[in-house]
Structure 1
Amino acid sequence: MQRWRGYTIIEMMVVMVVLGVLASAAMPLVELSAKRAKERELKQAVWEIRQAIDAYRLAVDAGRIGRGDGASAYPPSLSALSAGVPDMKAGGQAIYLLRRIPRDPFAPKSLPAEASWGLRSYASPPQEPKAGADVFDVYSTSAEVGMNGIPYRLW
Structure 2
Amino acid sequence: MNIVILKPAKSRYVSGFSLVEMLVSLTILGILASVAIPFAEVAVVRQKEYELRESLRTIRTALDQFQSDWQGEVISRIDESSSRNGYPVTLAVLVEGVPLNNSQDMKKYLRRIPRDPFNDDTSSSEEHWELRSSQDDPDSTLWGGEDVFDIRSKSSRVALDGSDYKDW
Structure-2 separation of matches of 1:99 and 1:53:
13
Instruction: Give ranges in structure 1 of 5+ residues lacking alignment.
Output: none
Offset of residue 70 of structure 1: 6.8
Q: Which is higher, the Rg of structure 1 or of structure 2? A: 2
Q: Which residue of 1 aligns with 2:150?
A: 137
Aligned AA for 1:96?
A: K
Aligned AA for 2:137?
A: P
Distance 1:16 1:104, change over 3 A: same
Offset of residue 150 of structure 1: 1.3
Structure-1 separation of matches of 2:60 and 2:148:
10
1:100 to 112, 119, 122: 112
Equivalent residues of 1:121, 1:129 under 8 A apart: no
1:153 pairs with 2:131: no
Aligned AA for 1:32?
A: V
Offset of residue 8 of structure 1: 1.3
Q: Which residue of 2 aligns with 1:72?
A: 85
Q: Which residue of 2 aligns with 1:26?
A: 36
Equivalent residue pairs, number: 154
Equivalent residues of 1:121, 1:130 under 8 A apart: no
TM, length-normalised to structure 1: 0.92
1:123 pairs with 2:135: yes
1:2 pairs with 2:10: yes
Q: Secondary structure at the match of 2:24?
A: helix
Equivalent residues of 2:158, 2:165 under 8 A apart: yes
Structure-2 separation of matches of 1:42 and 1:23:
29
Offset of residue 11 of structure 1: 1.0
TM, length-normalised to structure 2: 0.85
Structure-2 separation of matches of 1:149 and 1:34:
17
**Structure with the higher fraction of residues in helix conformation:** 1
Structure-1 separation of matches of 2:142 and 2:85:
15
Structure-1 separation of matches of 2:10 and 2:48:
59
Instruction: Give ranges in structure 2 of 5+ residues lacking alignment.
Output: 1-8
Q: Which residue of 2 aligns with 1:52?
A: 62
Distance 1:143 1:72, change over 3 A: same
Offset of residue 104 of structure 1: 0.6
Q: Which residue of 2 aligns with 1:83?
A: 96
Structure-2 separation of matches of 1:61 and 1:118:
25
- Cα deviation, 1:54-109, whole Å, max 9, x if unaligned, reads 111011112223245973310011111011111123x1201010111111111114
